[in-house]
Amino acid sequence: MTDLQIKQALILCYFTTENLDTIDDKTFGEAVTAAQTSGGIAVDGIAGAETVAMLSERVRSIQMNLNKAGNNCPIDGLPGPLTDQAVKAFQHQNGLIEDGMVGTLTESALNQTAISNALFNPDEQVTEHFNMREFQCECGGRYCNGFPVAVNRILIEKLEMVRQFLDIPLVISSGVRCEELNREVGGVWDSYHKLGRAADVLVYESNGYRVDDVADAGEKFGLKTIRYYDQRFVHFQYND
Ligand SMILES: [Zn+2]
Ligand SMILES: [Zn+2]
């Protein structure tokens, strides 16, 4: 690590909250001391080999969790613009202050997301006819990683029942939405799409069904509906 990277690592790992351009020798020494204390290594306030190795390990572990949370930064143990961007993007997605520092709040949110994502497989075939990917956020990675929330499984199971009852393919035009996409498409602020509990299904009259037929089938299986006659789609949501 260069001197600059050591300073960046100290900031990233929240051992100092100073800006890069305002870190003076005194703040630097204090941050190194804090890092050494936290890492359980010899405390002398000087960034020697052991301290650098410890910082690098911390940065690497942050980078790994950022990627598990859906970001794409290098896992090299070196702080830099890509890691900084990934931290800020993660903070933005989670409603945290976008300061690029992994303090207590960011760290616990990051750990939680990494753990729950490990249990969530975007390529899972959930039911006979529905794959998780069909429900991913349509922002195409502009604002989120596709699954800012998990899709409600009961919603998918009920859609499968509708699909089998009507015996026609159901095309999902909108599943999960991140905050930004929901705003962009003019969704209501409390949209169930943001909760992973709603899906819009296109209606092709060539299949022999109209909007009402498709919506009625959903209600039969306990889904709430909004019927869009002009745009020919049905909004299904699962409330309970
Ligand atoms: Zn999105
Ligand atoms: Zn909808």
Q: Could you report the per-residue pLDDT of 117-134, keeping only the tens digit for each?
A: 777 788 889 999 999 999
Report the chain's C-alpha Rg in angstroms: 24
CA–centroid distance, 39 to ligand 1, in Å, is 37
Q: Identify which ligand lies nearest to the alpha carbon of 146.
A: 1
How far lies 8's CA from each of 115, 120, 174, in Å? 26, 32, 40
**Three-state secondary-structure class, residue 236:** strand
Question: Which-ligand-closest: CA of 143?
Answer: 1
Delimit the CATH 3.30.1380.10 region(s) of the chain. 132-237
DSSP 134: G
What is the widest separation between alpha-carbon atoms in the chain? 78
- Count Cβ atoms within 10 A of the Cβ of residue 30 and give its class: 0-12 exposed, 13-18 middle, 19 or more buried: middle
pTM to 2 decimal places: 0.57
**Average pLDDT, rounded, for the chain:** 93
Give the confidence band of 145 by pLDDT, cuts at 50, 70, 90.
confident
Q: In this structure, which ligand is nearest to the CA of 201?
A: 2
Mean pLDDT of 44-65: 95
Share of the chain above pLDDT 70, in %: 100
Q: Which ligand is nearest to the CA of 178?
A: 1
- Check if CATH label 3.30.1380.10 holds for domain 132-237: yes
Q: Order of strands across the sheet with 171-174? A: 171-174, 198-202, 233-237, 224-228
Residue 224 Cα, ligand 2 centroid: separation in angstroms? 11
Q: How many residues in the chain? A: 240
In the predicted structure, residue 93 carries a pLDDT above the cut 90: no
pLDDT at position 68 is: 80
The rounded Å distance from CA 147 to ligand 2 centre is: 16
Residue 165 CA to residue 3 CA, distance in Å, equals 65
